[in-house]
Structure formats: structure tokens, C-alpha cells
Structure 1
Amino acid sequence: MIQHIYENYHIHVKEFTPLGPYKSFWVRNKIYVLLPAGHLQEEELVEMKKLSDYMNQQGDITVATFVPNVQGYYVSEIEETNYCLLKGIRTLERNVISLGSELSLFHKRGAFFSEEIEHLSRIGEWKSLWEKRLDQLERFWQSKIASHPTDVFEQLFIESFPYYLGLAENAIQYVVDTEIDDNPQPTDAATICQERFTPLLWQQTKRLKLPVDWVYDHPSRDLAEWVRHISFEKRENWEETIVQFLTDYERNYSLSSFGWRLLFARLLFPLHYFETIEGYYLTGNETQKYVYQDRLETILRRVDQSEQFLQQFYDLIRLPIDRLGIRKIDWLT
């Protein structure tokens, strides 16, 4: 691999060190990260490069930028796998501001990007993407019923799906109602978000932000995914952690009532359930299947707790929903 890096980039690598799930190496005060890019389309990479260049120009030194190879391309084939090389600088490990504040400043900068983003854009598409995902899983569920499986996971899937179908339909309707009842404000502009923002994402890369994790979407996407993760893990003082995170975020970049509704709609959509079912059937690894089964059993055990969390969410974060004209969902009250 060291030889391949030299051939493709004319960079001498002494040794690789892990950075989260990736290989990285240092050259003087710069860190380089090697990222597999086989799952990304060329058009997506072009947009990721535009966004990372823009964020860097705006002074965000925590964003990694793409390094061209000796042919001037941003993708190199190494050992039959496509890779991108990204670089960042050494000032990363200072953790001087809270995660909520850091995310809001990141969103605020990203919202001023003025070019058109097409391939990474998810803004306004939640409803259609969720409907498509729901239809696919419903058809798959019906095929499983017809085959009368005896496997434990499949029986759990067959029994639980109608409940999560209803939950997903509620989330879709909540988005529809939000778009009818409320008007987006300037802070509802699309910005740079992460595909899945969890507490681990920036932590594992020592605050280096990697464009291959990005989509272009409403800022509530990142907030909702982070809250979903914390509420599922339920570590010590998890409720206070959520309140503090959202409070820190709002100091720099406050959500409108439209944004809060979208955040809640996203929490309502049972993404963790969908990803667990899909993950189980997509993996060929038996050990991994047990991990997914364990996760599904945990999700199903916690249905009441999850409902209670959704029911009390607006109260937990002390959001003045009457003043903002936000309604609660009837069956959760």
C-alpha cells in the first residue's frame, strides 16, 4: 500500500495509523486519510469536493480536502479498489467547544454555499425516499409471510412490521402536514449534513470532517440522528445530554417551528428498525446476523420506552409548542 501511495501521489509514507475505520498517515503537520470510494458515484464526489473546498475557503480547518493523484484525478485504483486521498491539518485535536456549538457553526457556514447541489441533495425528499423504502420493505414482508419462515428473526420481523409500518406512515404524514401548515424560514435553508450524524462520527476521526460522510439537507437531519442515537443508547444522564446538545446548538443557529417539526418527523420515522431489518437480509455474515437479531430484540423490547420518549420529546426540550403552533400526535398523547 505504501508503494501504491507513492506511485499514485508521489508521497513518501513511513507508516499507517488507524483513524476510526480508515488508514491514515502523517507528513509533517498534515494528516492524510485513505478512503474507499467504490460506493460513491463520480457526480457525488465532484459535489463533495466542491463543498469541502468551499468550507476550507470559509476558514473551517477541521474539514479534509481532496488530494489529486499524479494524473490529476481524485480517485485512484489501488489493489482493485477505488480510493480517495484526503488531507487535513494537525490543529484538530483541540476540543474547545461543545459538539452542539460545533455542529451549528458547521451548518451555518454550509448554508451559504451558493452553487447548485443535485446528486447529494436530500432537501425536500424525505417523504418520497421514506415512501419508497416503506413500499420495498412491505413487499418483502408480504413475501416472507407467504413463505412461512420458522427462523426467529424472520418471525419477529413478520410480527413487528405492521406496527413500524404505521409509525413510518405517521412520520410521512407529519412531514406533509408540516409543509402545508408552516413556512420555512432562512434557517431552514439546505446545508451540509452528515449521512448519519452520531456522537462517534467526528470523535473517531479526532474532529476531522470527511466529505464522504456528507449529504446536502435540512439541518434538522443531523440533530435528529444524533438525538435518535443518544435516546437509543440510554447512557447515564442521556436526557440532560440531549437538552444540553440542542441548547448549545441553538445559541448559534436556532431552529424555526418548521425545523422543529421536521426534526420530530425524523425521530418518528423508525430508521433504526428499517436499518436493522435491511442489514440482516443484506449481510452474508452469520455472526453479523446474530448482531442484527440482538439489535431487533432490543428495539422490540423498548417499544414502550420509545413511544414515551416521542410523547415527551417537546416537553423534555421545553419547546413552547402552543406559541409555535406545533401540534402533538394524537395517539402519542
Structure 2
Amino acid sequence: MLELLSEYIDGFQGSEVTIDGMKGYRLDEDCFFIIPKSASDKRYFEQKAVGEYFFQNGFTRFAIPIVNKQGDLFTEFGSQPYVVMYANLSEEREYTGHGANLASFHQMGRNYPYQPSEAVAYGQWKQLWISKLTLFDSMFQQQYNERPVSRFQRLFIDTYPYVSGCTENALQYLQEAESEQRFDEGDGGSFTFQRYSGQVQKQMIWPDEIVYDHAARDIAEYIRGLLLQPDSALSEIEQFLSEYQSIKPLSIFSWRLVYARLLLPIHLFDYLETGISSRDPEFTFKGYVELLENQPEYEQKMRTFFADLGLDAEALHIPVLDW
């Protein structure tokens, strides 16, 4: 595949490198990844524009689709179109706290001068959650009508009504939150991640992970990961939020979106989806059982979420689910 890079750079002599499971070639701080084309032309062109914007504003670890010597974004090699991603892996980065780094990323995303049209989820949570619920309702009915074979299938049938009920609660909370009038300029759309798990702190930011949405998406998903840890320390969440709000304080609207997203049992849906589509659903059985066993603790954390963070939900007129 190194031969393909000759369409981009003359006499490239880089060495192989693997980052996040992706193989590429590196020369000093310059890194190139050759990736089979898997999305629309429009998606890649927008990724290029967004990546260049972040790169020019200091996020040089953002992988950017680049054009070849002919000015084309795609290069045929062995009858397969490829995209080449470029990133600068400079090690000289000033340390910034995780929360502050994410807030800066979101702030920069809000200032993007164009309206994105690809991978947009801003204002669409309700529609997306209903679609997910409808899909899994159909899966449940199909599994219910068939004779369950595996332990996972039987567990899915037994527990899905609970998952569905949690989702209905999240949808109701979201619908009420959308009427919240206490918002500010920070509640506009920004660039976030499909499923945030600390990507702004990692060596590389991949453009296919980016989605245009409300910043609450990333905040909630990072907090979810901490809440799901049995021995999670509240201090980690407090530090993350303190760092984030040192750059951009959260409005009441943002807090309510964070809470609504945490109510949505995405972590349970993930295991269900993996187990249903897997040829060996037993592989996910134990993980799903463990999550279900920890769910009462998760619910308890959601009951005291605002109080634990020092927010008086009653005084601020923020509804809290009590199950």
C-alpha cells in the first residue's frame, strides 16, 4: 500500500505505524493512513473541510482526508477507491485538563463558519431514540415469537420490557427538557463524537467519529462511563465538570439534556445489539448480566445525580426521576 502514497508524495520513506488499530506510515511528525472508501463523496469532502478547520485552529491530531497530485480526494488502487488521511503527531502539546480540552473543542466547533449537512444529530434525539426503540421492539417481537435457543435470547425476552420502559422515561424527560427556556449561546450545535470516551485526549481524532450535535452528548457519555464503574469516584466527575465549566458553564437546558441522555439505557442497548447480531450471542451474555446486576446502583446514582454534584435541582426547577 505504500505504493499508493506515490500518488500523493514523491519518494516517501516513512515507517509503518499503528494507531487505534489503523495501520499507516509515519515520517517524523507527519502520518498518513490509507483507508478504503466507505462513505459518500459528500461525507468525505465535509470531513476534509471540518478537519482543516480544526487543524488550522490548533487541533493538529485531527486526521484529514487529503487530495492526490491530480487534486482528487479518492485514488483507485486494485479496482478499489481509497482515501488518504493526514495527521500531525507533534508531541509538544501544552497540557490541558480533560474537561477544559473537550470544552475548547466544543467551543471551536460552535464557531465553524458553515452549516454541516453530513452526520447531523442536533435537535434529532427524540426521532433517533424513537427509531431505536421501534427497531428493538420489532426484534423483541420476533424473538418472542420464536423459540428461544440461547441463554442470551431468553434473557433478552425477559429484560427488554425493562429496557423499553427506561427508554420511554428518557423520551418523556427529553420532551419536557426541549421546552426549557434557560439556554445560552453555548447550546448551539457543535462537533461532538458518536460515542465519546475521551477522544480529545488521545493521539488521533478520526473524522468518521464526528457528529454535529449538542455538546451535552459528549458530556453525558463520558459521565455514563464513570457511573457504570462500580467503584467510580464522584471526584472524577466533579473534576471533569469543573474543568469543562471553567471554559463554558452549562446552562440549565444543557444540564437537562445531559440528564435525559443518561436516562437513555444506551449501555444496555449496546449489549443487546451485539448479542442479537453475533453468531455467538453467549459471548455477550455475561457482560449483559453484569450490567443488569449493576442497574439498580446506576438508577440510584441518577436519583441523586444533581445533589451529588452540588446542584439543588428543586430550587433550580430541574425535574429528577425517582422511579
Q: Using structure 2 for the length normalisation, give the TM-score.
A: 0.92
1:249-290 CA deviation, whole Å, 9 max, x = no partner? 110011100001001111110111112111222234x3xx34
State the match for 1:113 in structure 2.
112
Aligned to 1:214: 210
Could you say which residue in structure 2 is the equivalent of 1:249? 244
* Aligned equivalents of 2:78, 2:165: Cα separation in 1: 46
* Partner in structure 1 of residue 5 of structure 2: 5
- Could you tell me which residue of structure 2 aligns to residue 42 of structure 1? 41
With over 3 angstroms needed to count, the CA separation of the structure-2 counterparts of 1:126 and 1:12, relative to structure 1, is same
Q: Check conservation: 1:47, 1:120, Cα contact below 8 A.
A: no
Instruction: State percent identity of aligned pairs.
Output: 26
**Equivalent in the alignment of 1:264:** 259
2:20 alignment partner in structure 1 = 20
Q: Is the 8 A contact 2:102 2:200 kept in 1?
A: no
The code of the aligned residue for 2:244 comes to: Y
- Contact 1:65–1:88 under 8 Å retained in 2: yes
Q: Determine the structure 2 residue equivalent to 1:282.
A: 277
18-27 or 136-145: bigger deviation: 18-27
Match of 2:268 in 1: 273
RMSD: 2.1
Whether the 8 Å contact between 1:8 and 1:76 is mirrored in structure 2 is no
Distance 2:129 2:163 in 1: 12
Residue 230 in structure 1 maps to residue 226 in structure 2: yes
Q: Which residue of structure 2 aligns with residue 314 of structure 1?
A: 306
User: Matched residues in 1 for 2:11 and 2:237: separation?
Assistant: 43
Partner of 1:304 in structure 2? 296
1:64-104 alpha-carbon deviations (Å, 9 max, x no partner)? 32221233232345556654322222324646111111100
Maintained 8 Å contact 1:9/1:68 = no
Task: Tell me the SS of whatever aligns to 2:90.
Answer: helix
User: Alpha-carbon deviation of 1:183?
Assistant: 4.3
Aligned position for 1:169:
168
2:40 counterpart letter in structure 1: Q
Aligned pairs for 1:78-157 within 5 A:
78=77, 82-92=81-91, 94=93, 96-157=95-156
TM-score by length of 1: 0.89
Q: Does the 8 Å contact 2:152/2:282 carry over to 1?
A: no
- Is contact 2:182-2:251 (8 Å) kept? no
Q: 1:226 to 1:75 in 2, by over 3 A?
A: farther
The DSSP-based 3-state class of the residue aligned with 1:24 is: strand
> What residue identity is the alignment partner of 2:211?
V
2:291 maps to 1:329: no
Long gaps (5+) in structure 2:
none
Gaps of 5+ in 1: none
More helix by share: 1
Q: 1:187 to 1:280 in 2, by over 3 A?
A: same
User: In structure 1, what is the Cα distance between the partners aligned to 2:78 and 2:183?
Assistant: 48
Q: 2:318, 2:139 → 1: CA distance?
A: 35
Query: Partner amino acid for 2:245?
Result: E
SS at match of 1:16: strand
What is the identity, as a one-letter code, of the residue corresponding to 1:245?
F
Question: 1:105·1:252 contact (CA, 8 Å) conserved in 2?
Answer: yes
